Chains A and B, each alone.
Chain A
Amino acid sequence: MNWAEFFSMGGRGAFVWGSFGVFALGIALEVLLLRMRSRRSKEAA
Chain B
Amino acid sequence: MNLYRYASPASFYPLAGRLWPVFAVIAALLAVYGLYEGLFVAPTDFQQGEVYRIVFIHVPAAWMGMFIYLVMAFYGVLALSFNTRLSAMMMRALAPTGMLFTFLALWTGALWGKPTWGTYWIWDGRMTSTLVLFFLYVGFIALTESIDDERRADRAGALLAIVGSVNIPIIYFSVTWWNSLHQGLTFSKSGGSKMAPDMVIAMVAMVFACWAYSIAVALVRARAIIREREPAHVWNGEAA
- Which A positions have Cβ atoms within 8 angstroms of B? 6, 9-10, 12, 15-16, 18-20, 22-23, 26-27, 30-31, 34, 37-38, 41-42, 44-45
Are B96 and A12 in contact (CB-based, < 8 A)? no
- A-B contacts, 8 of them at CB < 8 A, read A12-B49, A15-B112, A16-B53, A22-B104, A27-B100, A30-B96, A37-B224, A42-B227
Interfacial chain B residues near A12, Cβ < 8 Å? 49-51, 115
Interfacial chain A residues near B50, Cβ < 8 Å? 9-10, 12, 16
Are A23 and B104 in contact (CB-based, < 8 A)? yes
Interfacial chain B residues near A26, Cβ < 8 Å? 100, 103-104
Interface majority SS on A: helix, strand, loop or mixed? helix
Are B227 and A41 in contact (CB-based, < 8 A)? yes
Are A23 and B57 in contact (CB-based, < 8 A)? yes
- Which B positions have Cβ atoms within 8 angstroms of A? 39-40, 44, 49-51, 53-54, 57-58, 61, 96-97, 100, 103-104, 107-108, 111-112, 114-115, 213, 217, 220-221, 223-224, 227-228, 232, 236
Cα–Cα distance between A15 and B49 once the two chains are bound (Å): 12
Are B213 and A27 in contact (CB-based, < 8 A)? yes
Interfacial chain A residues near B58, Cβ < 8 Å? 19
Nearest Cβ on chain A to B203's Cβ, whole angstroms: 15
Nearest Cβ on chain A to B192's Cβ, whole angstroms: 19
